[in-house]
């Protein structure tokens, strides 16, 4: 009997269970065994359950109170808990409620063990988070069958979880691959668009947390897809637009509808509908100006769209020769276009970055194109031999940048040496 058995400290899945007096454990060999935690204040009941289940090959652990069970579960991580209802201290129902509020316990199935069979008792158990009942006195075959059934459900659930995780990983890999392919196409189509998108993504990653976006994944994806609609325009139209040249009414209408075009392309791709909405409104001013002419304004606009409107315009000013606070001042002159909260936060971020740069001495060095590699930060712009600016100062070289530069190196040539910041 348990009251005659000396308590043992046994290792479970690489670590001791840390059991104290009143917390009992037994062990069934086999690394792949299921772990069942039995909780009952009566040693005789635990002895019966052990005799019933140990031949099934389960690893068995024991607790005499609800408090002991709460202490054991986070480290033991059992696959199933058989929990007595009537115990001193906190009863089984309250123990289950508390377990279901914990990160470890919320996913562990709990089967109540009780002699009570009133409907109200059964409903209280289900409301507390239990999934089944085993009634006393125990019927050995019923106990084995119920535990076996729930273990099969646990196996099925975990198999499905692994399949879902695998599917999510495949989707993420597919999305990442698609983004890289799109940027390779963009780099060949128009290096300036590529440069803007790459710098915008970098800026999103750098300042996102300061502006309230601790997870910038969605924003980064949206930033990379902002130029998608422009790819549908004739190259000479884009060139004239960039140089403030004459545009026909048809071309102006096409440019106005670039966000809508990109959004419509994206909404056809599963899992990118949110990105599509962000892209659709990224040229909409906070005051309601811009495209689309109708629709939401101010807080009615997606927060991510308001963020990208601000940062995209900032990058535009950067690429046209204004840096840091000077670029922010240009945006502040038309502040009605931007979310005032984001603008204030962004101003603080830029000021802090400039202070850091002032206090950090820059050490520059000249390198050849062959010495250029990912991770280096540019101290000066990179141009091709025709004078086209490919990358700007402050940008960190990525694999996509290297692809762009190698293409220009092969067909046009790159001006050397290249000026970078030393590590």
Q: What pLDDT digit, counting tens, does each position of 33-81 carry?
A: 789 999 999 999 999 999 888 888 888 999 999 999 999 999 999 999 9
User: What's the pLDDT at 342?
Assistant: 94
State in words which class domain 196-360 has: mainly alpha
Residue 357 has pLDDT above 80, yes or no: no
Identify the residue whose tokens are 């990525």.
398
Domain parsing of the chain, residue ranges: 2-161, 196-360, 362-423
Residue 20 pLDDT level (bands cut at 50, 70, 90): very low
Fold that domain 362-423 belongs to in CATH: Molybdopterin biosynthesis moea protein, domain 2 (3.90.105)
Q: Please tell me whether the peptide bond between 35 and the residue prior to it is cis, using omega within 30 degrees of 0.
A: no
Judge contact between 227 and 196, C-beta under 8 A.
yes
Cβ-count burial 319-355 (b if 16+ within 10 Å, e if not): beebebeebbeebeeeeebbbeebbebbeebbeebee
- pLDDT tops 90 at residue 337: yes
Mean pLDDT computed over 240-262:
80
168-227 confidence digits (pLDDT tens): 788 777 777 776 777 666 666 677 777 788 889 889 999 999 998 888 888 988 888 888
Which residues on adjacent β-strands are paired with residue 227?
none
Does residue 1 have a pLDDT over 50? no
Question: Any idea which of 107-116, 239-248, 254-263 has the lowest mean pLDDT?
Answer: 239-248
Whether residue 230 has pLDDT greater than 90? no
Over range 101-109, report the average pLDDT: 90
- Integer Cα distance of 270 and 250 in angstroms: 32
Indicate the fold that domain 2-161 takes in CATH: Rossmann fold (3.40.50)
Is residue 19 over pLDDT 70? no
Q: Are strands 382-383 and 389-391 parallel, antiparallel or unpaired?
A: antiparallel
Mean pLDDT across the stretch 237-250?
78
Is the pLDDT at 18 greater than 50? The verdict is no
Q: Is a pLDDT exceeding 60 seen at residue 321?
A: yes
């Amino acid at each position: 009997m348990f009251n005659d058995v000396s308590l043992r400290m046994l290792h479970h899945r690489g670590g001791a269970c840390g059991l104290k007096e009143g917390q009992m454990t037994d062990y069934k060999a086999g690394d792949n065994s299921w772990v069942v935690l039995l909780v009952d204040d009566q040693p005789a009941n635990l002895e019966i359950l052990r005799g019933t289940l140990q031949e099934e090959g389960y690893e068995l652990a024991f607790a005499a109170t609800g408090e002991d069970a709460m202490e054991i579960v986070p480290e033991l991580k059992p696959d199933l808990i058989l929990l007595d209802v009537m115990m001193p201290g906190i009863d089984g129902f309250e123990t289950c409620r508390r377990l279901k509020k914990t990160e470890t316990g919320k996913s562990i199935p709990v089967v109540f063990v009780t002699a009570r069979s009133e409907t109200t008792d059964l409903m209280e158990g289900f409301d507390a988070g239990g999934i089944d009942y085993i009634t006393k006195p125990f019927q050995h075959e019923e106990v084995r069958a119920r535990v076996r059934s729930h273990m099969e459900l646990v196996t099925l659930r975990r198999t499905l979880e692994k399949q879902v995780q695998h599917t999510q990983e495949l989707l993420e890999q597919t999305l990442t691959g698609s983004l890289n392919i799109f940027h390779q196409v963009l780099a060949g189509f128009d290096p300036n668009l590529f440069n803007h998108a790459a710098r915008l993504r970098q800026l999103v990653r750098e300042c996102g947390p300061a502006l309230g976006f601790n997870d910038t994944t969605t924003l980064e994806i949206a930033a990379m897809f902002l130029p998608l609609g422009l790819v549908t325009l004739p190259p000479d139209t884009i060139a004239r637009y960039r140089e403030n040249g004459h545009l026909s009414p048809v071309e102006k209408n096409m440019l106005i509808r670039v966000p809508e075009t990109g959004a419509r392309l994206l909404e056809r791709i599963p899992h990118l509908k949110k990105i599509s909405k962000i892209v659709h409104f990224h040229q909409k001013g906070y005051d309601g100006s811009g495209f689309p002419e109708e629709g939401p304004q101010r807080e009615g606009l997606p927060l991510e769209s308001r963020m990208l409107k601000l940062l995209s315009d900032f990058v535009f000013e950067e690429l046209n020769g204004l840096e840091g606070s000077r670029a922010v001042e240009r945006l502040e002159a038309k502040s009605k276009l931007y979310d005032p909260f984001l603008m204030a936060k962004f101003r603080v971020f830029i000021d802090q970055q400039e202070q850091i740069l002032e206090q950090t001495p820059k050490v520059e060095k000249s390198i050849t194109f062959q010495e250029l590699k990912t991770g280096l930060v540019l101290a000066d712009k990179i141009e091709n031999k025709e004078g086209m600016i490919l990358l700007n100062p402050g940008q960190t070289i990525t694999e996509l940048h290297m692809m762009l530069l190698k293409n220009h190196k092969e067909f046009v040539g790159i001006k050397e040496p290249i000026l970078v910041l030393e590590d």
